[in-house]
Structure 1
Amino acid sequence: MNTIVLIVITVIITVIALWAYFTAQRLNTLHIRTDAALAQLQAMLDRRAAVIGVLVPALAPIALQAEGVALRHGKFDERSQRERELNVEIHKFFDADEQLAASVSANPQLVDAETRVQLAHRFYNEAVSDTRALRLRPTVRVLRLGGTAPLPEFFEYSFSLERP
């Protein structure tokens, strides 16, 4: 009887250990995916700012300011603020010169850059959602399977080439 109990306890401990190991591996993979998506989002925002700076030289200083702020976990506010400022200036530009605005907003490079930013934004927020869903499970938190990695946060971004 003692042998059966010992075998059952060993199997239960092994199953729990394997679950914890594979969950920690999954979390590691999700964190890598989140970091890669963040790097891609940074690159696409920088590319969009560079394209805007080239197409509209008057907005180049604001675009350079936005491009100069790095996206880092826990420090999204400054980049979000710079992006909002750039968006406000773009819309002011669109309102001031409608003919030039139409040609700029239809520029394939800007349309491509904006599309890539929107895709990168979606991919990043999806990766954050998946990571947070696993990290916030009670058993994962109790066993501290997330390690020392910070809990990722969502990046808020909304912009349209169309005027409101």
Structure 2
Amino acid sequence: MSAGTWMTVVAVVIAVAALIWLIILSATRATRLNRLNVRVDLARAALTAALERRAVVARAIASACPDRTLTAALAAAADTAENSEFASREVAENRLSTVLAQVDPAEQPVGLIAELADAQARVTIARRFYNDSVRDARTLGARRMVRLLRLGGHSSLPEYFEISERVMPD
């Protein structure tokens, strides 16, 4: 074989090796992106469950609250928050947090206040876990190879869920 033939063979072998490496790398990234999207979906379900539990506790506090104005506001805020679509739920949840901050713990049964504290702690944890999952998915989805090879398909990147964790009474 001549030197030119050897160079051609070497070039073909290098090209095939590079192509195989690209396929393996893209398959690995696609699998990781899929796992991250599943993790985001599971975290969204956990966050939704925590938010719904907080709305139920808010309704229970509303039924035990002696202030009728606050009772109506709590029930309305809980209903609005629970019936909102996930994409627009942040505003409703912030409103519920604001109304819950107006509740005087001294006027409520200790069990309900403890239940509310637990529900709010679970919302905080679920929101942080969800946002961490979203951050990881967005980071991988923004990588050049993922975008160029469209490894994420036509789906959009997930959005963060931002609500106020601590609201002071008005």
TM-score when scaled to structure 1? 0.84
Spell out the pairing of 1:19-34 with structure 2 (5 A cutoff). 19-34=25-40
1:33 partner letter: R
Residues 142 and 125 of structure 1: is their aligned pair in 2 closer, same or farther, counting only changes over 3 Å?
same
Q: 2:107 aligns with which of 91, 100, 111?
A: 100
Q: How big is each residue's C-alpha offset from its partner over 1:83-120, in whole Å with a ceiling of 9 and x where there is no partner? A: 122122222333xxx6216x569722111111110000
Spell out the pairing of 1:30-49 with structure 2 (5 A cutoff). 30-49=36-55
The share of aligned pairs that are identical, in percent, is 34
Q: 1:6 aligns with which of 5, 8, 12?
A: 12
Residue matched to 1:159: 165
Aligned CA RMSD, in angstroms, stands at 2.1
Contact 1:104 1:110 in 2 (8 A): no
Residue matched to 1:64: 79
Q: How many residues align?
A: 155
Q: Which runs of 4+ in 1 moved over 6 A?
A: none
Residue matched to 2:128: 122
Q: How big is each residue's C-alpha offset from its partner over 1:42-98, in whole Å with a ceiling of 9 and x where there is no partner? A: 110010110111122212232122111231xxx2xx31111122122222333xxx6
C-alpha separation in 2, matches of 1:30 and 1:88? 33
Q: Larger Rg: 1 or 2?
A: 2
Q: Secondary structure at the match of 1:80?
A: helix
Q: Secondary structure at the match of 1:93?
A: coil
Residues 79 and 107 of structure 1: is their aligned pair in 2 closer, same or farther, counting only changes over 3 Å?
same
Contact 1:52 1:63 in 2 (8 A): yes
Q: 1:88 aligns with which of 81, 87, 98?
A: 98
Q: Which runs of 5+ in 1 are unaligned?
A: none
